[in-house]
């Protein structure tokens, strides 16, 4: 798992038929119609695609996009029949995911999309430290993004539709509360380090309050800190009560 080699050999350049290319269902990067329109206009003005898309074979003459879905959508709008592409001989799913993360982190990612992609890698039992080395970001920053990426998608979509910017999203994960004494979350591998079963209801509540106008953005950071302190206090009270209950049982 710690081997960072992602391809068996160099990529092959070719012109792929547009109708033979399929999107990657795991791609978390969301592009606005405006960003696609801007890229389409740029490509039309230049007359060509400067950076080919990257694909891998997914059957006979069928290619799945590793990275470059926005470029592919722009080419569709321009009515292209073929698109310049690099065909990579990718060894496994995690390697394709890592390639997508590396390229998109330089070119196309928004903050939430990057967090979701890094959480996906972490879920596949790739350590925070290894992800950090490969993408060239500090382990603490990667860990912060992974924490955000593990927030349930229902809440992520609420955040996308809110005015909460990435600077506030960075700290909103502090409102999660670990459950079941830190037991690994089911379905997340064999106890991957740092992945636990969390209660995200406080995050959901805070986002709903912002979207309903009950909490202003300039108040959100203070609210998060206050709620976190209160949650920690309640948790310590519960731990103390549990310990006292154990002591009382042993004394009977």
Confidence band, pLDDT 50/70/90 cuts, at residue 192? very low
Residue 12 belongs to some domain of the structure: yes
Residue 126 belongs to some domain of the structure: no
- Listed in order, strand segments (DSSP E) in 91-195 are 177-178
CATH number at residue 54: 3.90.1530.10
Residue 47 belongs to some domain of the structure: yes
Among the listed residues 184, 179, 180, 181, the one whose alpha carbon sits nearest the alpha carbon of residue 195: 184
Mean pLDDT, residues 188-193 = 39
Residues 6+ apart with CB under 8 A from 243: none
Structure tokens belonging to residue 24:
């990657």
* Domain encompassing residue 22: 7-91
Among the listed residues 10, 13, 26, the one whose alpha carbon sits nearest the alpha carbon of residue 98: 26
Number of domains the chain is built from: 1
Q: What is the pLDDT of residue 230?
A: 82
Residue 30 belongs to some domain of the structure: yes
Tens-digit pLDDT profile for residues 5-31: 444 456 788 999 999 999 888 777 777
Residue 45 belongs to some domain of the structure: yes
């Amino acid at each position: 798992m710690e081997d960072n080699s992602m391809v068996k050999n160099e990529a092959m350049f070719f012109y792929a038929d547009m109708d033979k290319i399929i999107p990657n269902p795991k791609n978390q990067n969301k592009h606005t119609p405006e960003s696609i329109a801007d890229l389409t206009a740029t490509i039309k003005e230049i007359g060509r695609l400067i950076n080919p898309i990257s694909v891998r074979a997914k059957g006979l003459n069928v290619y799945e996009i590793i990275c470059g879905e926005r470029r592919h959508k722009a080419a569709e709008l321009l009515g292209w029949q073929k698109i310049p592409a690099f065909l990579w001989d990718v060894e496994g799913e995690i390697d394709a995911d890592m390639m997508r993360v590396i390229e998109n982190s330089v070119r196309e990612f928004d903050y939430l999309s990057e967090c979701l992609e890094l959480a996906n890698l972490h879920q596949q039992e790739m350590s925070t430290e290894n992800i950090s080395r490969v993408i060239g970001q500090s382990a603490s920053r990667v860990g912060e993004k992974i924490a955000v990426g593990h927030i349930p998608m229902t809440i992520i979509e609420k955040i996308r539709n809110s005015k909460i910017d990435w600077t506030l999203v960075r700290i909103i994960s502090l409102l999660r509360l670990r459950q079941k004494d830190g037991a690994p979350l089911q379905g997340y591998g064999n106890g991957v380090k740092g992945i636990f079963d969390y209660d995200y209801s406080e995050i959901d509540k805070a986002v709903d309050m912002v979207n309903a106008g009950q909490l202003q953005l300039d108040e959100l950071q203070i609210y998060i800190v206050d709620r976190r302190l209160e949650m920690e206090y309640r948790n310590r009270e519960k731990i103390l009560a549990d310990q006292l209950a154990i002591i009382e049982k042993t004394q009977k």
